[in-house]
Structure 1
């Protein structure tokens, strides 16, 4: 994992995979890990997407 950022007190994660231009976001909720691509290459826009998604 090339880059990793935590949001919302560590409950939400924004990260970039090595072979991707897009940021991903994930959270652990209800005993399951949920992940989705933000389809953003800007970290600031990816963080905004992740906060709205969670």
Structure 2
């Protein structure tokens, strides 16, 4: 996720999400959906990311 400026709290949230996902059994389709979500997040501003997290 190069090029995105996130403070430590934001990165901790992302790492927590990834470690939860690692514990789940995911097929290739599910992983592809996760990568698509990450690429969408790359294009978002930090403020928008914050508001989405609360939903």
- Point out the structure with the larger strand share: 1
Q: Same fold (TM over 0.5)?
A: no
Bigger proportion of residues as helix: 2
Q: TM-score, normalised by structure 1?
A: 0.35
